[in-house]
Structure formats: structure tokens, C-alpha cells
Amino acid sequence: MAAVGGKGKIRTISETKSGMLPLIERKEFSKILDGSSGVLKVFVESARAVARSAVIAEEAWKKSKASGVNVIPADIPALFKRDPNGGESLMRKIMCAVYEFERDMGVMRMQYGLAHKKQTLEVKSRVQTPDSKHLTQQGTVKVNGCKSVLEKLALNASKSRRLESLARKSLAGKISLRELAKQLTVLVGGARSKKPRVTIGKDTAKRMCQEILAKKAVKCKAKL
């Protein structure tokens, strides 16, 4: 967003926050709306950037009206007009409700898609060994989310066998988590290289071992 101060100075303000969050959690935007930042006008890329909730959008309009700050979206410049007539007030409330509905429909479609994908992968896992990228660290079907550390490292067969051996030793209590983390750091080439690829912590080491053992168990089960 671009903000214009009392002396006509323009500055760019960036805040990566969800439009569904209450204004109290959007600190930069909240400062502008209550007038404490000295801004008289704020230009935003779209009305959606103000809020994706009709209630929060109305709260933002009331704050801007009380402080005398003009909020001007690029797509509908007069939507948050400070002194609207009856028709303009109705249009503001309708448009903000449409943005909220649009957002809710997007979330609903995504949730439906994830549920369908999970069901498909679970059925597939019953008849064949699931791809490792479709398994969580506990060996259950993974539908969405970031890659695990193990997936990002993409260890070769030799290193994977070494990791599995360390995981079994840790499970049997033969090595501590601290020692496990140290050995895994060496295994992935972090401690001995001039530019460490990654340093494995105790919690990460524990999760990596859980993941490798879970995937091994799934593969053994599929062979049976």
C-alpha cells in the first residue's frame, strides 16, 4: 500500500497479513487507520486488501472515518468514502460481503479437494506401496504440506541405509539424541564441508528417524 502524509510525502508500506485477521493483529494498517502514523490517504491495490471479512471491513471504515484517513482501493476508489449516501453505504457492505463469500468458497473448494485427494491416496495405499512423498513422518498418507527435511535432503541409497541403522540404534537406546543429531549432520555432509549444507538438531534428528522407519515399515508390509 502507498501512504500519503501531511506534507504530501508518499511512502510504501508493506504488511503481509491475512485479511481475515482482526485489525488489532494488523499493526501497521491499524496505525494508519487510527491516524497515529500521520497518514492522510492510503492507497491499496484492491478492496480485498483492506479485509476479506465484511465485519472487519466495516470496522476499518469506521476507524478511518473517525480519524479522517481516506482509504482508496485501486479497483473501487470510492468504496470506503468517509461521507457516503445510503446507496454508497449499501454498495460498500454488499461488496465486502461478496469478498468474504468469495474467500469462503475458495477455502471450501480447497478443503473438499484435499479430502478427496486423501481418500484417493488411502485407497491406493491399500493395493500398492505409496510413493514416499505421499507419506508423513509417521507413515500415514500425506495430502498437503511442505516437504520434510528427509525429502529435501534426497539421500542416496547408501546414506538412507546408514540413517536407518542410526534410527534403529536410537530406538534401542544405544545412542543419545545429541549423538544421533551429530552423526546425522556428518551423514548429510554438514559438519565436514566448508559450507555446511545443514545442521541437524535433536528434534529434527528424531523426526527423520521416525520417518525413515515408518516408510521402511510400509514397504515391508507391502511386500508381505
What one-character-per-residue DSSP string does 135-173 give? B-TTSSBP-SSPPPHHHHHT--HHHHHHHHHHHHHHHTT
Fold of 2-100: Rossmann fold (3.40.50)
pLDDT given at position 16: 76
Q: Collapsing DSSP states into helix, strand and coil, what is residue 43?
A: strand
Q: Cell numbers for 75, please give them.
A: 479497483
pLDDT given at position 134: 55
Q: What is the pTM of this model?
A: 0.55
CB burial string 105-129: b at 16+ within 10 A, e below? eeeeeeeeeeeeebeebeeebeeee
Domain ranges in the chain with CATH number 3.40.50.1390: 2-100
Nearest in space to 52 (alpha carbons), one of 83, 76, 17: 17
pLDDT given at position 135: 55
pLDDT given at position 147: 66
Q: Is residue 61 within 8 Å of 71, Cβ to Cβ?
A: yes
Within 10 Å of residue 162's Cβ, how many Cβ atoms?
Answer: 15
pLDDT given at position 140: 59
Within 10 Å of residue 131's Cβ, how many Cβ atoms?
Answer: 11
How wide is the angle at C-alpha 167 spanned by C-alphas 150 and 183, nearest 5°? 75
Kindly give the parts of the chain with pLDDT less than 50: 130, 132, 191, 193, 195, 221-224
pLDDT given at position 48: 86
pLDDT given at position 105: 92
